Amino acid sequence: MTRDRLLDPRSRATRFRRLRVVPAAGLAVALVLGACQPAGTSSGPSGGASSFPAASASAAGGTTQLSIATGGTGGVYYPLGGGFSQVIRKYIPGYDATVQETNASVDNMQLIGGGGADLALVLGDTAADAVEGRGEFESGPVEACTLGRLYDNFTQVVTSSDTGITSIEDLRGKRVSLGSTGSGTEVIGLRILEAAGIDPDTDIERQQLAVDETVNGLRDGTVDAGFWSGGLPTAALTEYATTGKLVVIPTAEYTEKVAATHGPFYLSAEIPPDTYSGQTAAVPTIVVPNVLVVNTSMPEELQRQITEAIYGHKDELVAVHPAANALDASTAGDVEFMDVCPGARAYFDTQG
């Protein structure tokens, strides 16, 4: 099974929401959501018609608004992107940032290519496909570079203790969510099923749900299991674990096969014990690095300023989400599958 069977995300309307991140007492972050707005038009993934920035300068005060493409509200991209908008607002004079809720990695690279977003959080496998013009991006590569490696996404295949499912093989004949259409979760989900010899179109009852929708399905019994690729912990899963029914299924036995077929950015790691309530043992699984991506048209000095704002204020981002603990300026530029932006490289070179 290949990604050719994925639905083309450009044929869907991508949902957007603006997010304002406000510092509060105790370093808490208040997320203020506005109304949804439709996606802007795009010339396609190659980014030929894209320009910087996606949002023009505000008439009141001359502040340039940057747009950050993230993911669903139940995952890590959305709150962490809110933290990025906070440090951009605070430490880069003349710039502000808003957060877009999207279907995540595939959509986000389309937005970067088409000029619909200025920055995007993206899984490494999807970013590699995009810059090479593979898979969902066969119509043309995306002109993008990375501001650095962020943290690893852990593949979290979850079910309820009521289902009796304990392995990927047990998913045959079950109702399984592969994540939102056009998400990095869908990409890794399809590749794991392929490695296990399971056809997602005939061997399971395939559903396409965001992580919070998957949790709702586990609660009401309309879903037997679901894939999620995200940081630790993921809020929606943390909340579901309080029911005492969360089971996390291991996937690491397929790491070598997936990496041999699709690329070296697939690695094995363990979800530590007690990441979620009731999860007493480590769960070996496949991990994929996340990167922060921009269009190559972004000015180098702004690339450097954003990189410094993020990696230089890690403590403020950890207060937003613990996944930011993985930010490390000394290794963030070690990305083999796409170019590191020259402005970001200039900052990393000063960090030793």
What is the mean pLDDT of the segment spanning 16-40?
32
- Using pLDDT thresholds of 50, 70 and 90, give the confidence band for residue 61: low
Give the per-residue pLDDT at 75: 85
Give the per-residue pLDDT at 184: 84
- Using pLDDT thresholds of 50, 70 and 90, give the confidence band for residue 50: low
pLDDT 10s digits, 147-201:
999 999 999 999 999 999 999 999 999 999 999 998 889 999 999 999 999 999 9
Q: Are 110 and 42 in contact (CB under 8 A)?
A: yes
More confident residue, 300 or 14: 300
pLDDT 10s digits, 207-235:
999 999 999 999 999 999 999 998 888 98
What is the mean pLDDT of the segment spanning 125-141?
94
Q: Which amino acid is at 236?
A: A
Give buried/exposed letters for 187-209 (b at 16+ CB in 10 A, else e).
bbbbbbbbbbebebeebbebbbb
What is the mean pLDDT of the segment spanning 41-45?
39
**Pairing between β-strand 29-37 and β-strand 16-23 as defined by DSSP bridges:** antiparallel
- Using pLDDT thresholds of 50, 70 and 90, give the confidence band for residue 135: confident
Contacts of 182 (CB under 8 A, 6+ apart): 6, 7, 9, 12, 14, 103, 104, 105, 106, 107, 110, 136
Place of tokens 């996944």: 323
Q: Which domains does the chain have, with CATH numbers?
A: 9-150+292-349 (3.40.190.10), 153-288 (3.40.190.10)
Please check the confidence at residue 30 and state whether its pLDDT lies above 60.
no
What percentage of the chain reaches a pLDDT higher than 70?
83
More confident residue, 309 or 57: 309
What is the distance between the alpha carbons of residues 252 and 88, in angstroms, rounded to a whole number?
Answer: 37
What is the distance between the alpha carbons of residues 161 and 175, in angstroms, rounded to a whole number?
Answer: 15
